[in-house]
Amino acid sequence: MLNPTLTITIFTILAASHANKTVDEQGFIGHLTTSFINIVGLLTKVSHKYPNPKGCLKEDNEFDFIIVGSGPSGSVLANRLSEEECWQILLLEAGNEACPITEVPLLCGTLEFSKYNWGYKSEKMDGFCTGCIDGRMQLPHGKALGGSSVINYMIYMRGNKLDYDRWEAMGNPGWSYKDIFPYFLTAEDANITGYKDAGYHKKGGYLGVSDVTYRSRAAYAYVEAAQEAGHRFVDYNGRGQVGVSYVQTTTKGGKRVSAESAFLRPIRNRTNLFIRTGSQVTKVLIEPGSNKAYGVEFVRNGKKYKAVARKEVIVSAGGFNSPQLLMLSGIGPKNHLQEVGIPVIKDLPVGETLYDHPVFAGIIFTVNESIVLDLKSTILDPDSYVEYLQRGSGPLTVIGGVEALTFINTNISDDSDPRLPDVELIFIGGSLSVDHGVILRRLLNIPRATYDVMWKPLEGKQTFQVFPMLFHPKSKGYMKLRSSNPFDPPKFYLNYFSDPEHIDIENMIAGIREIQRIVEFPAMQKFGATIVDTPIPGCEHYAFDSDAYWECGLRTLIGSLYHQVGTCKMGPREDKEAVVDSRLRVHGIKNLRVADTSIIPLPVTAHTVEPAYVVGERGADLIKQDWGVL
């Protein structure tokens, strides 16, 4: 456990070290955050270290199953497959075990600038992120034991019933809501003290799920105003999503619950489970002619190793790294693989589908009372740490400032169903000004000059923000390899707002209008909630608050929240976009599966960490069925 005095001392030193910085902080912030995490890691005793596998890694190491990646899906698979004592399981993770500071919910944003993030960015494209630094978007992707669940915002959201029914209707039997719902309950250990629908939550699973007991007065006011505006209060993981709710989170006792702490730590002493961190898989080994996967090559501490799988290789490296590994192994679009000099084993549309959820941070409000989260006071107040460490409560338990969610159906899209929200409104009990532009602005790659115009004048003032996020974009992106070098980051082309009918932009503007409508109701107006009308740099020539102005703003400052799907899309063989079948098997390759969010065939009404856990749960059952143990 962290010593409160030690933590306060470190934070105070770091706060002092970045005071009055005026230079661009890209490298500085990364160094600062990583140094802080390293200091805490060195000074904090970690009691859940994993035992080393028996013996040394050798060229002839054999296992029944090799799992690549320890994110939510991979950790679940490692847990469930190792239940079979006669099976030997190897779990390979490129990152390392995270230190305890990652468990503090309020600090999650800083982790994106640490060694626990791959540090990916999108490629510059016309039409979006035109006001971002270098025209590129931050694409956080976890590099740690536990994957992105170690650095994400911990929002627990299963998705809509229609998501899964449509998933099955695309030719994927076994993925309907009826089929998937039991897995939600199996995984969950719910401690929701607020409103919840009966029969939709369960205790006793591995995954801790809780509401956040600490809430700002602004959050209470916002939820009340949303209800005044006609949004019913809901359990968005229950009977229906459309409405308003306080956020449900993957936390327990006020601390982050990651895939590692939930699914690996409790079973770390199983003798048939071998976990190797710091091990980056560079290639899946496939027999020529038979197209049968039989193992992997990986690099650890600069040395190359090979591991053999007697039964299967399971790629669970996430929406970015799973397609990258398939392509490096010769599975992917023929023309692209030839372009980068990789021999083609199987011509499949790997990476050619990439859906994501755009989120907009350009709407700011002020209030005339002290009702919002005060990040500076929280970090510098010793009582915050005492309350957190002794009782698991207080402002440090707030997940990066996110406090409440509203799910709305704008009826803009032609396939809209009244039960299916198309926009989420994410209430933040503060704004990007609370840290004086040091960390939060960089999460969305906002330049210092833009921050200085929009947020700097608000420093020290009472502000909050509501971010609209698009659930079901029509626009589709893609990704490619940068080269045949497995250590080169891939290229990501997100194509935000490229749909020819402009439905995505219209949906987002409708979300902005609903935010404005909610804030006009008495619960918010009693605090004088007022929109900040400083124009977004680059959009000054449009009339503020016109649709044209907001379209400009959306194309100028837009971000992403870890929700990429479809890069190894699930579908039947006749689906020209499909990479895996409904049992997660790669088309045309034996003994190779992909199990993570990359297989999800359509954008879901969810923050994708919970669907990732369910892919692991369902995948484990499919594997057990196929090998005759279930």
Annotated binding site for FAD: 281
CA distance 343 to 288: 11
Amino acid at 544: F
Give 609's contacts (C-beta < 8 A, 6+ positions apart).
72, 148, 149, 152, 154, 155, 156, 250, 562
Between the CA of residue 103 and those of 370, 396, 562, what are the distances in Å? 28, 10, 18
Please give the helix or strand (H or E) that residue 480 lies within, else none: strand 478-480
- Name the region of 328 (left: φ>0; alpha: ψ -120 to 50; beta: rest): alpha
423 and 518 in contact (C-beta within 8 Å)? no
As given in the structure block, the two tokens for residue 494 are 């997100």
> Exposed, middle or buried: residue 271 (CB in 10 Å: 0-12, 13-18, 19+)?
exposed
d(CA 340, CA 312): 27
d(CA 246, CA 470): 19
Give the span between the Cα atoms of 462 and 98, in whole angstroms. Answer: 34
Report d(CA 209, CA 187) in Å as an integer: 10
d(CA 497, CA 474): 8
Cβ neighbours of 624 (radius 10 Å): 16
Answer yes or no: are the C-beta atoms of 323 and 480 closer than 8 Å: no
Paired strand residues for 407 = 243, 424
Residue 628 CB-density burial (10 A; 0-12 exposed, 13-18 middle, 19+ buried): exposed
Distance between CA 25 and CA 21 in Å, rounded?
A: 8
Residues with a catalytic annotation lie at 563, 607
Binding positions are 281
CA 233, 239, 245 angle in degrees (round to 5)?
25
CA distance to 86, 236, 463, 544, per residue, from 433 (Å): 55, 30, 8, 21
Residue 116: which of 40, 10, 34 has the closest Cα?
Answer: 34
